[in-house]
Structure 1
Amino acid sequence: MEIFYAATMITLGNGKKTPFWQAPWLHGRKLIDIAHVIYAVSKRKNWKVSHAMNGEAWIRKITLDASFSLDHFSQFVDLWSLLSTINLNPKVEDNITWRLTPSGNYTVKLAYELQLLVSTASPMNKRIWKAWAPPKVKFFAWLANQGISTNISFTKLRKD
């Protein structure tokens, strides 16, 4: 899924297709990465954005017990403030754009080619995909590790 999310961009509409915790739909980040301690004490982990956001249902699924700490409270407030600005549009479906084609259209052929590239053995691959970083950073690190050129140009730094 990390590769899929790195190769796609999610534009939220009604939230019916997008996983609440695991997908990078909030400013390109996953909620599980933003608030991992809240995720750990959440009773419901596999639901879509539309269900979680309906009446702030995600809040009612947080287990409040003696282990609820200042870290939990801090992450809860941060997450709540980020989610309070989200407005779902019931008339528009979620849109997933494939970043690897100019048109943004997904093809099965490209997905298989990407999986084939990922399966290429390298000692760095495990480290890249396990590291904490936004999916697109991991993806470009992986591309660099594979020696795959991108259309992005970087300014060369040199010592004088």
Structure 2
Amino acid sequence: MMGQRLEDLCPFITNMVPRRHANRRTVSNAIANMSWIRDIHGTTTLDVIIEFLKLCSLIEKVALQPAVQDTHTWRLSASGNYTTKSAYDAIFMGSIQFEPWERIWQTWAPVNAISSCGWL
């Protein structure tokens, strides 16, 4: 919904649904007759009520199309397809490049200088 995971939109409610229920239920099954409501267990707080109302209004707008095949889109590549390279690049997304890395990983010290210091 809205390009986000349900856990991100409604964390209080998703924490109140036992995993055994969440792992068994399909979206179609949950939306039918609003049966997802029966999966919520625990203490009702103001945050839960607010998320519940928000979720109800979002689900109300969902129209499933059983004849249309589901598609999976990998947002971290331009093609929308998963690649190992795109996943690897995502790990370092936002990190700072250190250009003189070669100076750190390639030593210029001669072997004789290191052994004369008593390190070897």
Which structure is richer in relative contact order (CA contacts within 8 A, separation 6 or more)? 1
Larger proportion of helix: 2
1:83 to 45, 59, 83: 59
Paired residues for 1:38-53 under 5 Å: 38-43=13-18, 44-46=21-23, 47-53=25-31
Q: For residue 85 of structure 2, what is the amino acid of its counterpart?
A: E
**CA separation in 1, counterparts of 2:96 and 2:67?**
41
TM-score, normalised by the number of residues in structure 1? 0.50
SS in 1 for 2:72: strand
Larger proportion of strand: 1
**CA separation in 2, counterparts of 1:69 and 1:119?**
36
**CA separation in 2, counterparts of 1:59 and 1:92?**
26
Structure 2: stretches of 5+ with no match in the other structure: 98-120
Residues 1:56 and 2:28 aligned together? no
Q: Which residue of 1 aligns with 2:113?
A: none
Q: Which residue of 1 aligns with 2:9?
A: 34
Count of residues in Structure 1 that have an aligned counterpart in Structure 2? 93
**CA separation in 2, counterparts of 1:49 and 1:146?**
40
| Residue 146 of structure 1: how far off its partner (Å) | 5.8
Moved over 6 A (4+): none
Percent of aligned pairs with the same amino acid = 28
Taking structure 1 as reference, are residues 96 and 119 closer, same or farther at Cα in structure 2, changes over 3 Å only? closer
Structure 1: stretches of 5+ with no match in the other structure: 1-25, 121-141, 148-160
Residues 1:101 and 2:73 aligned together? no
